[in-house]
Amino acid sequence: MTPSAITGKSENHSNSFRWTLKSCRPSASCCVAHHLRGPALSSIATPATRWLRYLSWPTHRSLADTHAFLAWSDAEWRKGPAGSYLVFSRKDNGLLGGTGLSFKSPTCAVTGYVLARDAWGQGYATESLLAMVDLARELGVKRLEAICHIDHRASAHVMEKCGFQLEEILRKHTEFPNLSPGQRSDVFSYARCF
């Protein structure tokens, strides 16, 4: 498996691949810009969408926001052996969401995921997170961390299903700018050790 392109199998581990992950680098800006005009990313990026409340970053409201994200992603790729990935459907090459690894040290990384609303309930979150677990293990990570808002039970369930253990509740830890701008919220802190 190469960190810049990963292909995922369906949840039942058949040979039919459902999605592919592509590294999210500044060279992807034309690809992201293309998808900004399409239904998949517009459903991710719509500022007024209530379901985006659990993102720990503001929604992209302009192409400049997307370029800023790509610059951050490129810095993550320069810092470690992996970074952010875009999740694309192999069926129609539509953008489903994103995932990735951010390295705190060579043996400790943080992961997460975000999916378009129309991709929910189809196993993509679980498959994307398991792909990051596999990649982290392959890259020598010993501890993989993730957090989610304490009210985001679906995300907590995905992490537990992927072998993450709840370690603690971190009080007033993370700002969710689409939920309560300027205020820090409580989060579940999960980890998976190898």
pTM for the model: 0.81
Fold exhibited by the domain 5-146: Aminopeptidase (3.40.630)
Please state the φ and ψ torsions of residue 188, each to the nearest 5 degrees: -80, 135
> Quick one: pLDDT at residue 147?
97
The pLDDT of residue 148: 96
Asked whether 96 and 19 are in contact (CB, 8 A), the reply is yes
pLDDT digits 0-9 by tens, 158-185: 999 999 999 999 999 999 888 888 999 9
The segments of the chain whose pLDDT lies below 70 read 1-17, 25-51
What pLDDT is attached to residue 6?
56
